[in-house]
Amino acid sequence: MFLQTFKANLSGRDFAIGDLHGMYDLLFEKLDSVDFNFEIDRCFSVGDLIDRGPQSPECLTLIHEPWFHPVCGNHEDTLRTIARNPESSAILADWVLNGGQWHLQVSTEKMLEYANWVDTLPFLILVEQINGSNAAICHAEYPLKQWDPDSIANDSELTRLLMWSRTKVQTGNTDRVEGVDHIICGHTIVEDPLTLGNTHFIDTGAFKSNDLTLLPLSQLNKN
């Protein structure tokens, strides 16, 4: 599944969470701070559940929680690649340097199981809101000027940019993406949540700052 769509939450609240990077306990501290109701509230994740922080396996188990909805981040995609192609030495070395060393203590069988879990993650999520607006979730940045998920799904380079690009933040690009009200991304660490056009970057580097951004989607107005 490339795009997963969610209808408006008529009984609870919706939140978006920044890159977890193994900060499992910190996630629950943030949820507790807003009295998150696991029965009716929903938490949407911009991906990168794993690496760098101390609890990557625990964060992967969140994939199975009915209240937690992540997109695939570049770190999850790398896990999948290494689990199925362990001979990819250059990718493996880069992953270890970027926080993937925890997997060296995990069996081959378990890594393949994790890869299967990652296969269930969409690359894009679209969440409808009660006020009639909608918010898209992706990992790095949305690579087109208009809402057209099918074009990205059918183009491997656009899909790569969706998970890896940092161009919008690096250039301060304030262009709006037409056809969608809001886009929420992680990947590029910002000191504070940053809005450029109608794109919101919420990765505040929790693994080193201990500052994990939890964004109530109700704060986003219809444009």
CATH entry 3.30.390.30 includes domain 3-219? no
Burial class (CB in 10 A: 0-12, 13-18, 19+), 109: exposed
Reported confidence tier of residue 122, pLDDT bands at 50, 70, 90: very high
**Dist CA 65 CA 212 (whole Å):** 19
Residues 66-97: pLDDT tens digits? 999 999 999 999 999 999 988 787 888 899 88
Q: Provide mean pLDDT across the span 112-130.
A: 97
Task: Give the pLDDT score at 222.
Answer: 60
CB atoms within 10 A of CB 11: 8
Residue 56 token pair: 């990557």
The amino acid sitting at 93 is A
Average pLDDT along the chain: 96
Which runs of E-coded beta strand occur in 46-179?
68-70, 124-128, 134-137
Q: For the chain, what are the domain ranges?
A: 3-219
Task: Give the pLDDT score at 223.
Answer: 55
Task: Give the pLDDT score at 88.
Answer: 80
Task: Give the pLDDT score at 97.
Answer: 87
Task: Give the pLDDT score at 187.
Answer: 97
Residue 19 token pair: 């890159």
What are the φ and ψ backbone dihedral angles of 215, each rounded to 5 degrees?
A: -105, 115
Task: Give the pLDDT score at 93.
Answer: 87
Sign of the dihedral defined by the CA atoms of residues 206, 56, 80, 150, in that order: negative
**Dist CA 135 CA 175 (whole Å):** 16
Residues 144-156: pLDDT tens digits? 999 999 999 999 9
CB atoms within 10 A of CB 158: 17
β-pairing verdict for 214-216 and 14-17: antiparallel
Residues 100-119: pLDDT tens digits? 999 989 999 999 999 999 99
Residues 184-220: pLDDT tens digits? 999 999 999 999 999 999 999 999 999 999 999 998 8
Residues 160-186: pLDDT tens digits? 999 999 999 999 999 999 999 999 999
The amino acid sitting at 223 is N
